[in-house]
Structure 1
Amino acid sequence: MDSKLAAAQREAEEVKDIMLENLNKADERKDKLGDLELRSAKLLDKAQSFHKTSKKVKQKKRKDYLKSKAGLIAVVTVLALVIIIVVVVMLVSSSSDPSVHSAAVTSKPPGQP
């Protein structure tokens, strides 16, 4: 009977040691999980900050793109107007020059035969 009692006590000690080891491992896991939770919270904050910053950069780039597009349209419009004005002036001056020139050639000063 003593041997059965001693065997039961040994088994109880082994179970106790295993349970203490399991508790220690669970404690370590708890600490590691706490660290992971802190790191994940920091990563989440950084991700949200990155998202806000990227939105601002996207808006700024879009605004810059629209400004440059508007500037390009303005330059093209001004150039087109200048070309149209030059062409109109040339047409008007070329159409009025021949009539003045031909009138000057055909008309003779008074008193000349």
Structure 2
Amino acid sequence: MKNKLLAVMFGAVLVLGACGGAKTDKETDKQAGAGGETAAVDPEAVVKSSCIMCHGGNLEGQGNAPSLTDVGSRLSETEIHDVIVNGRGGMPPVKLSDDETNAVAKWLSEKK
């Protein structure tokens, strides 16, 4: 009985020890900066990896996805941020870090 209990406890420790504890790239990046600062985000690279599939390589829009070439003339930075986080119409929410979302919203808001 004691051996079975010890085996279960040892197995639980191994399983739980394997979960968590590993730092993600984003956590490592945050800790690498002085005073907790994060590395600068390249919003254009984020857009290329997250948005061009629907909005096109030049952000010209495709199918139901609208053009983003002049989105800053239609929406404020705050509204763009809201669309990224919550989605809108047929666009689902985009899962980005807060820094990426802020950088992309600012970059897109400058497109007029």
Please confirm whether the aligned pair reaches a TM-score higher than 0.5, indicating the same fold: no
The higher radius of gyration belongs to: 1
Q: Which structure is richer in relative contact order (CA contacts within 8 A, separation 6 or more)?
A: 2
Structure with greater helix percent = 1
TM-score normalised by length of structure 2: 0.27
TM-score normalised by length of structure 1: 0.27
